[in-house]
Amino acid sequence: MTAFAQVANFNGARPVIDPANAAILLIDHQSGLFQTVNDMPFTRLRAHAGALAKMATLAKIPVITTASVPQGPNGPLIPEIHESAPHAKYVARKGEINAWDNPDFVAAVEATGRKQLIIAGTITSVCMAFPAISAIAAGYQVFVVIDASGTYSKMAQEITLARVMQAGAVPMDTAAVASEIQKTWNRDDAMQWAEIYTKIFPEYGLLIESYTKAQAVAQSHEQLDSAR
């Protein structure tokens, strides 16, 4: 049976993101670690991590970040995460590979009062997987964002996906997370959500461009008709 065919068991909990009950954990999205990513273009990974931060700001979802030995070769966190989510809380670790082994990190998660965790991290098989599995064991409902996490091979990604699903995590992609949090286009910040999708898949910008052009043409025709 493939990882995609397995069904996570959440003890009856509905596996849908509730923005009022969710927190986003962005773990080790560091410039040095990005150089090891081979399962997707690192520019796409970087854009997706920033998109998660931006949607957290729009939906008022708590964000917790952390870095693995940022003073060493792993490098600093990419700046756009805290630029897109100024409310994000950074937790410094003391060398722990699994962020969940750091008491301050766990305390920060607990302080949010949220029971759903949306987790992304680099490297996928370690920085994302270890905290995800630990959080599930601690009783949290966990959603792992596969295309906002990066690793050194496609095989490593697939093995990790199987592992976290067996542990009970729900795998998602960044666009699905955005849509599930956004819920409707009938909202005042709809265009800001549209901009997020252009970061996730730039082709969406063409849809906005064509729509904007069509609207301008239609308005021009209306003005000509009213002038006659």
Residues identified as active-site? 127
Q: What residues contact residue 69 under an 8 Å CB cut-off, 6+ apart?
A: 95
- Which segments within the chain are labelled E, that is strand? 22-27, 63-67, 89-92, 116-121, 141-145, 170-172
In total, the chain counts a number of residues equal to: 228
Residue found by looking up tokens 């897109």 in the block: 84
CA dist., res. 110 & res. 57, Å (int): 19
- Per-residue tokens: 125: 């098989």
CB 157 within 8 A of CB 168: no
